[in-house]
A = this chain, B = another copy of it.
C-alpha cells in the first residue's frame, strides 16, 4: 500500500454543486419551514420528521431554538427588530443547507408573515415549504410545556407571541398540520406525504 501522490490523485478543479449532491443522494434538497405558536409542537414534529427521513436513508437536519438561539443568534433578544434579524439569519443558514443538498427543517415561532416571506424569497420556487403547526392558542396555553404562557400572562415575558405580541397565521402555507388535535405519528405522515407529492422525496413502495 502506497500513499497516493499528486500525479495519481483523481479530482477536478470544478466545484461540486447542489445538483451533483442531489444526484448522489437520490432526493431533492428543500427547506421545510415550520411556523406556529410556542407549544404547538414544531420542534417535536421537526425532530420526528427528521428521524423518519433518516430512517429512509435521506439527508436532513433540524434548525431550532436549541442550536440557533444559543449559537448563531445568541446576540439577539426578542424585540420585533431582533426577531426579524433572527429569522433573516435562519433563512440564510437554511439556504446554505439547501445548497449543501440537505432537507433542512426549521422550527421557530416565526410569527411575522413578512419575515417568513423574506426567507421564502431567498430561494427558488419549489425549494421552500411552509408548514403551519396549527394548534390553537388555547391548546398551546393549556399544554404550556415550559411554563412560558403562565409567565407571559403574569407579565414576566415581554413580546410573547399570542399574549403580548401577534402571531400572523400563514395565508396559503404549503401544508397545515393539526398538531393540537392529532397524534405525532399522524402529523409526521402528513408532512412526509406532502414531500412525496411535491417530488422532494420518493414514496416508499409498500
Contact = CB atoms under 8 A, between A and B. Distances in A.
Interface residues of A, number: 57
A1 B189 contact: no
Given A1-B206, A20-B54, A15 B47 contact: yes
Given A61-B100, A71-B96, A96-B71, A204 B52 contact: no
A124 interface: no
Contact of A183 (B4, B6, B206): B6
Interface of A: 1-16, 20-21, 24, 44, 47-48, 50-52, 54-55, 57, 59, 61-63, 67, 71-72, 89, 92-93, 95-97, 99-100, 102, 122, 183-186, 188-189, 192-193, 203-206
Contact of A8 (B15, B184, B206): B206
State the number of copies, please. Answer: 2
A93 B5 CA distance: 33
Q: Nearest 10 pairs between A and B by C-beta?
A: A11-B52, A72-B92, A6-B185, A15-B47, A61-B100, A71-B92, A16-B54, A6-B186, A6-B189, A11-B51
Given A1-B206, A89-B72, A206-B8, A51 B100 contact: no
B5 A189 contact: yes
A100 B99 contact: no
